[in-house]
């Protein structure tokens, strides 16, 4: 009950704030312009400013330390000492200044390994620029395939943030690079991050706590299924994606897209736990279906706890700016998966909550295509109906009691309206006609992912392409037995 009251209070506050603080629900300017205002830039503004100042104030032959490259704030004395002892920058790198995208990637790895390190150390903002507007995953994949081991090691060591977050780079490489970056950053913050002035030390302490949370979410090395650190941004609010299962081979891949208030520091453990429970539920269904003779053998799943964009809070939830950032990140992620999987495409589903459903719809309105899409607690999007979304299978919508967000249609249409054309996904609680399990109801804005709920059961089934078994709360549910899929 307390949770319910808190949910309701938070949502009412959010609604009031949306009404009073937010601007118009349309994005300012064109979408290309919006890219420039995404929080990728927000997340790198401060460090970039520091780097720019550093570059202007020192001779061009002097480089920052590795810790400075990673934007770990160090005491001024350490900074100056490192600057004095730094090696020279090769002059030939000046020609890289006007390159971008795949051209810049190719140019970087055409350089001798030490020169790559020197260049990235002297121009860390170029890495951020590449990640803000990355080449298509297909280009990245081709670029990576064309590198020899020396070049791969050199670029991974010089720019781990780049290699670890570029869609199109093999997942095993990204996992290894991201995990090493996580370890290194934690170590450097522990050793030096708290020696700075009080405010900087406090910021570093918060950052350290965020990184500890990511490490906790990854669990032990023996985690089963293995957990992959797919994305890692250690700056500011951070971004992260943790995969349970094997993205390279899973038959079904489900992405959990978060909404308002979900932060890396505060929620990555909980969000990964939700992905783990979704994984458990999907695996349980698949083994049941296999044992019942629906499929010849047990198929495999991967679930992704994805916090790949900066989610909004009360003061900016009324704007679509962050949804556009989410749109681009989702599009890049799906593009990356489809590129890596080549001819062996998995069934891909987006399971999106709240503001995350708005970001997902924006992505699906463009070129991103998935097999199934579920929205829960959605404030809507400019799309007027499911026909405007690139979803090969069904689109589902779930709305809980005491959740005022779904019917707000704040960003345009209300996906719960029959005219939108989405299938209803019941979250009200019932008894599963297949397993006889009592399914709990979800209420308020934040109980859709609670264990044992009808909501989680239905989300799991949507993710494994068993939409025919998804309940809608009608009398038809009595007939949604295994016979439908046999």
Partner 1 sequence: MQRRIASPSRSRAGRWGSAVVAASLLLALSGCVVQPVSSVTDEQAHQRFLTLLDDTQDLIGGQWEVRDDPTPRECVIPLWVPGTRMPALRVGEAPSSATAAAERVAEEWEALGIQVTRSDVGDVLEVKGETGDHELLVLRLSDSASTLLGESECRPA
Based on CB atoms, which residue is closest to partner 1, 173 or 433? 433
Q: Answer yes or no: are the C-beta atoms of 351 and 315 closer than 8 Å.
A: no
Rounded to an integer, what is the distance from CA 374 to the centroid of its chain? 16
Which one, 147 or 290, has the nearer CB to partner 1? 290
Angle at 206 between CA 204 and CA 208, to 5 degrees: 70
Residue 128 or 179: the one with the smaller Cβ distance to partner 1 is: 179
Closer residue to partner 1 (CB): 48 or 265: 265
CB 270 to partner 1: min, Å? 6
CB of 301 to partner 1, least distance (A): 13
Closer residue to partner 1 (CB): 273 or 417: 273
**Distance between first and last Cα of the chain:** 41
Alpha carbons 341 and 364: distance in angstroms, whole number: 20
> What residues make contact with partner 1 under the rule CB under 8 A?
2-3, 219-220, 222-225, 227, 269-270, 273, 276-277, 280, 283-284, 287-288, 290-293, 434-436, 451, 481-483, 486
Q: For residues 30 and 293, which CB has a smaller minimum distance to partner 1 in the complex?
A: 293
- Shortest gap between Cβ of 228 and partner 1 (angstroms)? 13
Min dist CB 119 to partner 1, Å, is 40
What's the CA gap between 303 and 244, in Å, rounded? 5
Q: Min. distance of Cβ 423 from partner 1 in angstroms?
A: 24
3-class DSSP state for residue 315?
coil
| Residue number, 228 or 357, with CB nearest to partner 1 | 228
What 8-state DSSP symbol labels residue 345?
A: P
CA atoms of 361 and 162, how far apart (whole Å): 27
The DSSP result for 184-230, as a single string, is: HHHHHHHHHGGGS-HHHHHHHHHHHHHHHHHHHHH--TT-SS-EEEE
Comparing CB distances to partner 1, the nearer of 343 and 486 is: 486
Q: How far is the CB of 435 from partner 1 (least distance, A)?
A: 6
Q: Which helix (H) or strand (E) holds 396?
A: strand 395-398
Residue 474 CB, shortest distance to partner 1, in Å, is 22
The nearest distance, CB 272 to partner 1, in angstroms, is: 9
Q: Look at the chain and count its residues.
A: 486
CB 413 within 8 A of CB 390: no
Separation between Cα atoms, residue 322 and residue 329, nearest integer Å: 10
Q: How far is the CB of 325 from partner 1 (least distance, A)?
A: 28
Q: In whole angstroms, how close is the CB of 131 to partner 1 at the nearest point? A: 29
CB of 79 to partner 1, least distance (A): 39
Tell me how far the alpha carbon of residue 408 is from its chain's centroid.
25
Minimum CB distance to partner 1 smaller for 195 or for 273:
273
Q: What angle, rounded to 10 degrees, do the helices at 124-132 and 113-122 form? A: 80
Nearer to partner 1, 309 or 448 (CB): 448
* DSSP sequence for 244-295: ES-TTT-SEEEEEE--TT--HHHHHHHHHHHHHHHHHHHHHHHHHHHHTTSS
Q: Which is nearer to partner 1, 122 or 269 (CB)?
A: 269
* 197 vs 282: CA distance, rounded Å: 49
Paired sense of beta strands 438-439 and 395-398, if any: unpaired
| Burial environment of residue 184 by CB neighbours within 10 A (0 to 12, 13 to 18, 19 or more) | middle
The Cα–Cα gap between 417 and 331 comes to 26
């Amino acid at each position: 009950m307390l949770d319910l009251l808190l949910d309701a209070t938070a949502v009412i506050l959010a609604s009031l704030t949306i009404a009073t603080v937010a601007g118009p629900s349309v994005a300012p300017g064109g979408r290309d312009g919006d890219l420039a205002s995404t929080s990728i830039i927000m997340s790198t503004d401060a460090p970039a400013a520091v780097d720019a100042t550093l570059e202007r104030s020192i001779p061009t032959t002097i480089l920052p330390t590795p810790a400075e490259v990673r934007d770990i704030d160090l005491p001024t004395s350490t900074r100056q000492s490192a600057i004095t002892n730094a090696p020279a920058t090769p002059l030939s790198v000046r020609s890289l200044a006007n390159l971008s995208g795949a051209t810049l990637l190719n140019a970087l790895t055409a350089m001798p390994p030490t020169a790559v390190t020197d260049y990235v150390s002297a121009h860390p903002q170029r890495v951020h620029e590449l990640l803000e507007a990355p080449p298509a995953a297909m280009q990245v994949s081709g670029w990576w395939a064309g590198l020899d081991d020396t070049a791969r090691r050199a670029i991974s060591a010089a720019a781990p943030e780049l290699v670890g977050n570029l869609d199109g780079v093999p997942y095993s490489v990204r996992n290894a690079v991201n995990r090493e970056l996580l370890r290194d950053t934690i170590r450097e913050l522990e050793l030096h991050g708290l020696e700075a002035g009080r405010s900087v030390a406090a910021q570093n302490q918060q950052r350290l706590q965020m990184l500890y949370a990511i490490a906790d979410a990854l669990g032990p090395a023996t985690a089963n299924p293995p957990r992959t650190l797919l994305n890692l941004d250690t700056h500011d609010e951070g971004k992260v994606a943790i995969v349970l299962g094997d993205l390279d081979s899973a038959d079904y891949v489900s992405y959990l897209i978060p909404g308002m208030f979900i932060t890396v520091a505060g929620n990555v453990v909980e969000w990964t736990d939700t992905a783990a429970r979704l994984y458990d539920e999907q695996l349980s269904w698949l083994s049941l279906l296999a044992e019942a003779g629906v499929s010849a053998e047990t198929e495999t799943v991967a679930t992704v706890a994805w916090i790949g964009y900066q989610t909004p809070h009360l003061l900016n939830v009324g704007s679509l700016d962050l949804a556009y950032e989410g749109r681009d990140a989702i599009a890049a992620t799906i593009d990356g998966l489809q590129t890596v999987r080549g001819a062996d495409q998995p069934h891909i589903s987006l399971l999106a909550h709240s503001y995350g459903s708005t970001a997902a719809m924006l992505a699906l309105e463009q070129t991103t295509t998935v097999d199934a899409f579920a929205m829960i607690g959605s404030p809507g999007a400019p799309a007027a109906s499911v026909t405007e979304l690139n979803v090969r299978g069904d689109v589902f919508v779930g709305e809980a009691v005491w959740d005022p967000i779904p019917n707000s249609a704040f960003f345009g249409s209300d996906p719960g309206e029959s005219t939108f054309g989405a299938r209803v996904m019941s979250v009200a609680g019932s008894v599963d006609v297949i397993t006889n399990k009592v399914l709990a109801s979800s209420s308020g804005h934040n109980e859709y992912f609670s264990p044992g709920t009808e909501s989680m059961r239905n989300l799991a089934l949507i993710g494994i392409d068993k939409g025919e078994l998804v309940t809608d709360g009608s009398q038809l549910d009595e007939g949604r037995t295994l016979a439908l899929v046999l």
